[in-house]
A and B are shown apart, each in its own frame.
Chain A
Amino acid sequence: MKSFSVLMQEYLTYTSGAKLTALFLTGLLAALAFPQVRKEAGKENRPLLIASGALAVLCLFPPTALLLSWYQSAYYDYRALWSMIPVLPVTALFLTRLFAWILCRWQKEGIHATAFREKYAPPLLLLVLLLLLLLCGDAGYQSWRSYALPGDRATLEELTNALLEQSPEGSDRPVVWGPREVMTYLPMVTNDLRPLYGRDFWDPSLDGFTYDTYPDSLQDLYDWMYAVELQDVFFFAFDWDSLYYTDAASIAEARDNKNGIQSCRAALDAGVDYIVLPGCERTDRAALSYLAEELSLQVIPVRVEEDGYYILFR
Chain B
Amino acid sequence: MIHLLLAAVLLLLLPFLTGQGLMAALDDLQKKRAGLPEKYLSGSLVLLLLTEAAHLLTLIRGEGIAFCLKTAGLLWILVATVSYLFTLVRTFLRALKSSPEPKERKKDKAPADSVTAVFGAAAFLLIAAQLVYIALGSHVAITGDMTAETVQTLLSGAPFYETNPMTGLPYSAGIPSRLKILVLPSFYAIFARAFSLPATTVVWQLMPVFWGVNGYCAFAYLGRIFFPGADADARRKRGIFLFLAAFLVLASDSLPGTEGFSLLHAGFTGVSIRLWVLVPALIAAFRERRFVLCALAVLTESVILWTRFGVGMTLLLLLSLIAATLLLRRREVQPS
Q: Which residues of A contact B (CB under 8 A)?
A: 13-14, 17-21, 42, 44-48, 50-51, 54-55, 70-73, 75-89, 91-93, 95-96, 99-100, 103-104, 107, 130, 133-140, 143-144, 146-149, 153, 173, 184, 187-191, 193-201, 203, 205-206, 208-213
Whether the pair A73, B324 counts as a contact (CB closer than 8 A) is: no
Roughly how many angstroms separate A19 CA and B253 CA in the complex, as a whole number?
10
Q: Give Cα A81 to B168, complex, Å.
A: 32
24 contacts between A and B (CB under 8 A): A13-B255, A18-B258, A20-B254, A20-B259, A45-B226, A47-B325, A48-B324, A51-B321, A72-B308, A73-B308, A86-B317, A88-B259, A89-B245, A133-B251, A136-B251, A137-B253, A140-B139, A143-B254, A187-B166, A187-B168, A188-B148, A195-B167, A203-B144, A210-B174
Interface string of B231-270 (1 = CB under 8 A from A): 0010011001100110111111111111111101110000
Contacts A187-B149, A188-B148, A189-B152 aside, 6 further interface pairs with beta carbons under 8 A come to A19-B254, A81-B257, A84-B275, A99-B240, A148-B141, A188-B149
Q: Which candidate, B38-46, B91-99, B279-287, is the interface stretch facing chain A?
A: B279-287
CA of A72 to CA of B312, assembled, Å? 6
Specify the main secondary structure of chain B where it touches its partner.
helix
Contact with A along B110-154 (1 / 0, CB 8 A): 000001000000000000000001000011111110101100110
**With A and B bound together, what is the CA distance between A139 and B115 in angstroms?**
25
Instruction: Write the chain B residue with the least CB distance to A41.
Output: B226
Give the size category of B's interface with A.
35 or more
Residue in A42, A79, A80 whose CB lies within 8 Å of B226: A42
How distant is the Cα of A93 from the Cα of B143 in the complex, in angstroms?
32
Q: Could you tell me if A194 and B168 are in contact, using CB atoms closer than 8 angstroms?
A: yes
Is there a chain A Cβ closer than 8 Å to B198's Cβ? yes
In the bound complex, how far is the Cα of B251 from the Cα of A135, in angstroms? 7
Total cross-chain contacts (CB, 8 A): 270
CA A143 to CA B247, docked complex, whole Å? 16
- Check if B1 is an interface residue, CB within 8 A of chain A: no
Q: Give B314's nearest chain A residue, CB to CB.
A: A84
- Given known A-B contacts A47-B321, A84-B274, A187 and B174 have beta carbons under 8 A apart: no
Nearest chain A CB to B309 CB, angstrom units: 8
- The answer to the question of B59 belonging to the interface, with a C-beta cut-off of 8 Å to chain A, is no
CB pair A208–B167 under 8 Å, yes or no, is no
Whether B81 sits at the interface, judged by CB under 8 Å, is no
A45: chain B residues at CB < 8 Å are 226
Question: Please, which residue of chain A has its CB at the minimum distance from the CB of B134?
Answer: A140
